[in-house]
Chains A and B, each alone.
Chain A
Amino acid sequence: GAGVSQSPRYKVAKRGQDVALRCDPISGHVSLFWYQQALGQGPEFLTYFQNEAQLDKSGLPSDRFFAERPEGSVSTLKIQRTQQEDSAVYLCASSGSGRGTGELFFGEGSRLTVL
């Protein structure tokens, strides 16, 4: 497709389960970002890739969160042993230029609910 694609759109997990969220960026986009957005809040930075290199993971809230982009295209955000506070919308965004000009193209997000 032409846009950023995220799956699943909705995920309900029991506390303690592992989840994996997938992001398929716009073809050819070098930069890929993951954000966490709680209800009524702005997107909180999690991690950033340039091609397959994870340049910044300072926003990952704990070692239960892990992200990868092994071939510089599709990315996966994995959350182990989910907790209720992990409930949020997880947004993936890609940017065409390695310069990271700031025009982020967002996917529709993956809404995670942890029971």
Chain B
Amino acid sequence: QKEVEQNSGPLSVPEGAIASLNCTYSDRGSQSFFWYRQYSGKSPELIMFIYSNGDKEDGRFTAQLNKASQYVSLLIRDSQPSDSATYLCAAQRSSASKIIFGSGTRLSIRP
């Protein structure tokens, strides 16, 4: 079992709709969680981080964390074609430890 699990997709969403990306993690000691976006042929870039249970909103993006269920999600509202990319979920046990990535979910926004 991988430490961070994601559905590989592809997830196809019409333009303007809400895209919902999910992630589960196995290490109960994980404290910090991150969503990175990676365009094809490019390097990952940070979109959101979340440390506490509940929702965290930033523009069109909302990250959700449920530590009891060991579940993290990312919602993208008003999806745009430029949101088409691979989304990587990552978890970190403590501030001085490695950051573990999932295998990523490919998202495609269709016009």
Contact = CB atoms under 8 A, between A and B. Distances in A.
Interface of A: 33, 35, 40-45, 48, 50, 55-56, 58-59, 91, 98-104, 106-109
B102 A102 contact: no
B9 to A, nearest CB: 11
Interface in B79-109: 88, 90, 92, 95-104
A48 B4 CA distance: 18
Given A55-B96, A109-B43, A102 B101 contact: no
Nearest to A57: B98
Nearest to B95: A99
Interface residues of B, number: 25
Interface in B55-90: 88, 90
A43 B101 contact: yes
Contacts of B4: 42
B46 interface: yes
Contact of A102 (B8, B43, B49): B49
B45 interface: yes
Nearest to A50: B96
Nearest to B86: A42
A7 B91 CA distance: 28
Nearest to B42: A108
Contact of A101 (B8, B42, B95): B95
